[in-house]
Structure formats: structure tokens, C-alpha cells
Homo-oligomer: A and B are copies of this chain.
Amino acid sequence: MNKSQKLLEEIPKAIYFDDKDRFFILDQTKLPTQEIIEEQTNIEQVYDSIYQLKTRGAPAIGIAGAYGLVISLKKYVDLDLESFVKQVLKNASYLNSSRPTAVNLSWALDKLSKLATDFPKDKSVKELYSTLRDEAVAIHTSDIFTCRQIGINGANLIKEGDGVLTLCNAGALATGGIGTALAPMYVAWSKGIRFKAYSSETRPLLQGARITCWELNKFGIDTTMIADSVSSYLMKLGRVSMIVVGADRVANNGDTANKIGTLSLAVNAKFYGVPFYIACPYSTIDIKSKSGADIVVEERNSEELIYIKGQQIAPKDIKAFNPAFDVTDNSLISGFITEKGIIRPPYNFSK
């Protein structure tokens, strides 16, 4: 392991699983004021950790679900195989209900459930348990490699003295690895390239302020927080060399759904000639969605905007329009940084 790799090991982690099959998460609801790593010892606790967003981010909750299922099965290893398999399915179904719309969670739990139901009847429960544990570790490892490769591919875009702006948290704490949008920053920094990171606070839930600022700062990257409304002025001042954000879903033509505020960044980037990148695993590309018009944007409740940490900031009865995401037109996107490389326009992913 060279120095740069050693540095990357120091990036904060959302999830830990050790060689004694112990499973830990960083409680992200306590950030940025407290840094609490909590061992997960039973299924109800894992359910609550996912439900309460102690661990969040699509890849991270898939991995947490897989590890959660594994540790919940420890106490059943003395059952007969048939009863054990039933318990696997029961526990997987229970954990899946913690965040029913999270695709990565059901994907990981389904993968483990299928391994259990397809498991040879002449083998032991302990062998099945080991298989499930190894698969959970494999899911995690695969995510680590994907993030790392996104980081390596994207790091080439960052030069000494650059200013790199991001929104929300597509970082280490949203994944099992070093993140997606933040991965290029981590790799570039670990190679000794010194740049300025700008983290847009990301109203209403402030993931940029709470989580991105915390993890970049913790790793030691020179990070500056801004209100979401400042990015345009920052570009006008010439302080932004590139923008890189994550994605919730990418349509076949490159139109991209991501956290609300992404579109405004992309429009401003176009106006000021700042390169605008989406960093995401290839699995985020949904070729069944032809364009952004096929993507339904979740609207969340007014209270999320009217109250900040319990403090009322607007009239109680005011209407609020609170979309969780927006859809950025492919024409505003300079490229997609994926584990397979950087994809440039024109976009047609099904080809």
C-alpha cells in the first residue's frame, strides 16, 4: 500500500464490518456535533438505524441491510437448514420495510435471500451463514471498488489550485467506499493535488453543511461552506473550476435527477463556462427512462421547509413547494464520471 492509498484509508466510513462479524455504523444523525460509532447487535436496532437515517445514501443502506441481515442470523445457526432459511427470508422482509422505496436495500436483501433459498439442501447452516456473510462483504467490497474507480477517473479533472464545488452529500458517508461525487476530490488530494472544495449547504435538510463539510474537513481537504444561493456569485468571481455532484437517477439520454439545486448549479455553470460533471456508478443509469420526462420527482411536505431543527422560520400556514429533486437537462452536463470512465456527450447509454 503506497502513501496515497494509506491516505485514502483515512477517509471517514459510514459502515464497518470486522473479522469477528461485528457490524458498526457511524450515526450520521449526530453529525456534525457528535461522532458516534454504534455497534449494531440485533435486527430491531438495524431497522431503526436505517429508518432514522443514522446511515443513509443508496449504496450505504444496501450494504447496511446486507450486514444487518447477517448479524441478525448469528443466533439461529443451531437451527436446521429449512428453519434457518425461513428465518433469513423473514428477517430480510422485515429489514426491507425500514425504507421500502430504497432500491439498493431491496436489491441487496433479495440477493441474500435468493442465495438462501437456492442453497444446496445437503450443506450445513454454518456453511449458508458463511456464504451469506461472504456475499454481504462482497457487496460492500464491490462498492468500495466502484467508488475508488470513480475517484481515479475523476481525479484527472482536478488540477492544483482549482476550486471544486459540490452539492448535498454524494460522499464516503453515502456509500461503502469513498463516495461518488467526493471520490475524485479524495483521490486528487491523496495524490498531493491541493485545491479548494466548496460545499453548498443543501436546504432543506442541509446534507452539504452537516455531512459533506464534516467528512471533507475530517479528511483534511481545504473546505469552504456556502449557502446554496452563493454558487452563482462564486462562479462570477472565478473561484469555481468545476462542479461535481452525484445522481439519483440518470435517464438514457443523460437527463439527470439529483438533489434539488443541481439544475440551478448546472444553468449557472453553463452561463459562466464552468464544467459540470455528474459522478455516479453505472448502476444509476436507468436506460428504461428515455429522458428526464420519464422521471417522477418526489415532492416532500411543507414542514420540512418551515421548521429547521424544530425552529419555526416561516408562518405555520404558508404553502411551500418542496421538491426533493430536480432534473438537469443533458445539454448542461459536461460528462458522467463512472467506474467505467468518463462518458462525454452525446449521451445514449443503451447503445
Contact = CB atoms under 8 A, between A and B. Distances in A.
A193 interface: no
What is the total number of copies of this protein in its complex? 2
Given A236-B263, A268-B264, A318 B223 contact: yes
A309 B311 contact: yes
B314 A213 contact: yes
A229 B213 contact: no
A213 B313 CA distance: 10
A239 to B, nearest CB: 8
A321 B267 contact: no
Contact of A233 (B201, B214, B236, B260): B260
Interface in A287-336: 302, 305-306, 308-309, 311-323, 326-327
Interface stretch (A50-58, A101-109, A133-141, A202-210): A202-210
Interface residues of A, number: 57
A320 B199 CA distance: 9
B232 A326 contact: yes
A322 B271 contact: no
Interface string A59-72: 00000000000000
A28 interface: no
A257 to B, nearest CB: 11
B261 A229 contact: yes
A314 to B, nearest CB: 4
A203 B201 contact: yes
A31 to B, nearest CB: 8
A322 B227 contact: yes
A116 to B, nearest CB: 42
**Closest 6 A/B residue pairs (Cβ):** A229-B261, A232-B264, A233-B326, A209-B314, A203-B227, A228-B229
12 contacts: A32-B315, A32-B316, A167-B229, A209-B306, A210-B313, A224-B320, A227-B228, A227-B260, A228-B229, A232-B267, A236-B327, A311-B311
